[in-house]
Amino acid sequence: MSHAAIGIPAIPPDQVDDRVSTNTGKPQNVQSLINGQPMSAYQYLVLFLCFFILALDGFDTAIIGYVAPALVTEWGISRAALAPVMSAALFGLAFGAMMAGPSADRFGRKPVLLISSLFFAVFSLLTIFAGSIETMAVLRFLTGLGLGAAMPNAVTLMAELAPSRRRSFVVNAVYVGFPLGAAAGGFVAAGMIPAFGWKSVFILGGVLPLVFLPIMARFLPESVSYMAARKFSAAAIRKVMQRVCNRDLSHVTEFTVDEAVTSTSKPGQSALGLILSRRYVVATLMLWSTYFMGLLIFYLLTSWMPLMMKDAGFTLEKSSMVSALFPLGGGIGTLVGGLLMDRFSPARVLACAYVLAAILLVAVGQSMGNVGLFSILVFLAGIMVTGAQASLPSLAAPIYPTQGRATGVAWMLGVGRTGGIIGALVGGVLLGMKLPFSQILAVLAIPALIAMTALLVLSVKAPKDGVAPYK
């Protein structure tokens, strides 16, 4: 099939990077080929598909926080009683990510991504039948397994199809789907729950991915780095690479991955063993620590902020709308962060973001009396906290080689999810203690500063032999 037949315009010969060899007898490195081309229409299509997957992921992950006030009223339960429901999906997210990473490094990014999307769609729909805290907690856990598996594979797939010079921005553009999806949950809940009840939000969260699944199956490719590392046939790799690079590669008879990267793993070594090996263990632990602290802040606020604001005198609709500004701000923070990370030291860029996050969190707690200022500061805090958090996968992906990349990203997400679990549980405890909102926010400045410290250590100790030179 020609490029014209699939709707992708050909690149004029004078625009093709002459650094990419076209010698027929010479093996071609897949990442070098991608780096030597402008972003193609097909790469932008994959970016959009992965973005939408994460938007659905963010929507389904966050909706329980927006549904919580309605559950308290309808079921006649205390706020603290919702803590198991709030944390159940986070347990699922953690286990789902940790299982999916090694599975994707073994079986491929695309099949694991499709199965996980189907999984979270089905169990989101089944949540409407929950009639008790216990049943809803179980269903939210099962939904979380699919949600946790989808995210790292979408991010890894895009990281392996993006040119190195733009990787941070491209991966962050995908990941921005998550906070935007979470923010959309607030706006959707504010309109749907008063009109149709809380179950309508879960129905929407299940139907959308089911409708989207055939499109994913049709247009998403497998990672070419994975295919080359796993010694797929040249014909299979060429089929994907010609769409990615938008050029004729019929002359190429062998595709490879970076031999220097491949040599970092020992024969028979598992992907988990690789990311915990001496070369990568410090970077791995710093990434886990940063993600843990960031999610502790994020999930405590997204899970409990609507209730905290309602207790402070806001209406249900206003508390949902203002709370949605927190993840919404992350969209801007993630895109700007990606641009800065491609130009400067990525770890230090994110360290600065966490310092500003600590300052803004304290400021939010001091502005409750002024709704306008309060809303602006919530939005700015979201830019820093959510933006920095969403940028961590693009920080992690280039550190690890192909054989352990999905596992490295997924285990960062999975282990870090325990911070979200603790945040959701601690939020319930703090509400039960009737601590003022301002004091809770001041306490959250501490994990932000710990994340900053871990990132500064990472900037010094990260391996220098990843997919692209680590700055």
Q: What is the pLDDT at residue 470?
A: 36
Residues 279, 462: Cα–Cα separation, whole Å:
9
pLDDT in tens, 367-413: 767 777 878 888 898 889 888 888 898 898 888 888 888 888 889 98
The residues, ordered by sequence, that sit 6+ positions from 434 with a Cβ below 8 Å of its Cβ are none
Q: Is the pLDDT of residue 161 over 60?
A: yes
Find, among 73, 100, 67, 58, the residue nearest to 85 by Cα: 67
Quote the tokens at residue 222.
């497998």
Residues 87, 420: Cα–Cα separation, whole Å:
8
Give Dmax over CA atoms of the chain in angstroms: 73
Quote the tokens at residue 55.
């938007």
CB 24 within 8 A of CB 238: no
What's phi and psi for 21, nearest 5 deg?
-70, 145
Quote the tokens at residue 406.
């999905």
**Amino acid letter, 171:** V
Residues 7, 4: Cα–Cα separation, whole Å:
5
Q: What is the pTM of this model?
A: 0.74
The residues, ordered by sequence, that sit 6+ positions from 303 with a Cβ below 8 Å of its Cβ are 64, 65, 68, 86, 423, 424, 427
Find, among 21, 145, 43, the residue nearest to 95 by Cα: 145
Residues 397, 162: Cα–Cα separation, whole Å:
11
Q: What is the pLDDT at residue 315?
A: 66
CB 309 within 8 A of CB 320: no
The tally of CA atoms less than 13 A away on the side-chain side of residue 99 is: 17
Identify the band that residue 316 occupies on the pLDDT scale cut at 50, 70 and 90. low
Helix axes 281-311, 346-365, angle to 10 degrees: 20
Identify the band that residue 453 occupies on the pLDDT scale cut at 50, 70 and 90. very high
More confident residue, 428 or 355: 355
**Averaged pLDDT of the chain:** 81
The residues, ordered by sequence, that sit 6+ positions from 37 with a Cβ below 8 Å of its Cβ are 11, 16, 17, 20, 163, 244, 245, 246, 247
- Report domain 41-223+266-461's class: mainly alpha
Identify the band that residue 428 occupies on the pLDDT scale cut at 50, 70 and 90. confident
Q: Is the pLDDT of residue 265 over 60?
A: no
Residues 386, 391: Cα–Cα separation, whole Å:
8
Burial class (CB in 10 A: 0-12, 13-18, 19+), 170: buried
Q: What is the pLDDT at residue 219?
A: 93
Q: What is the pLDDT at residue 28?
A: 82
Residues 304, 428: Cα–Cα separation, whole Å:
8
Find, among 396, 380, 411, 275, the residue nearest to 341 by Cα: 396
The residues, ordered by sequence, that sit 6+ positions from 235 with a Cβ below 8 Å of its Cβ are none
Q: Is the pLDDT of residue 257 over 90?
A: no
Identify the band that residue 6 occupies on the pLDDT scale cut at 50, 70 and 90. very low
More confident residue, 471 or 213: 213
pLDDT in tens, 324-358: 777 777 778 888 888 899 888 889 999 999 999 99
Q: What is the pLDDT at residue 311?
A: 66
Residue 37's SS3 state is coil
The residues, ordered by sequence, that sit 6+ positions from 17 with a Cβ below 8 Å of its Cβ are 35, 36, 37
Q: What is the pLDDT at residue 81?
A: 78
Q: For 156-162, what is the mean pLDDT?
A: 89
Return the sign of the alpha-carbon dihedral for residues 102, 103, 107, 113: negative
Residues 292, 302: Cα–Cα separation, whole Å:
15
Q: For 449-464, what is the mean pLDDT?
A: 86
Q: What is the pLDDT at residue 20?
A: 42
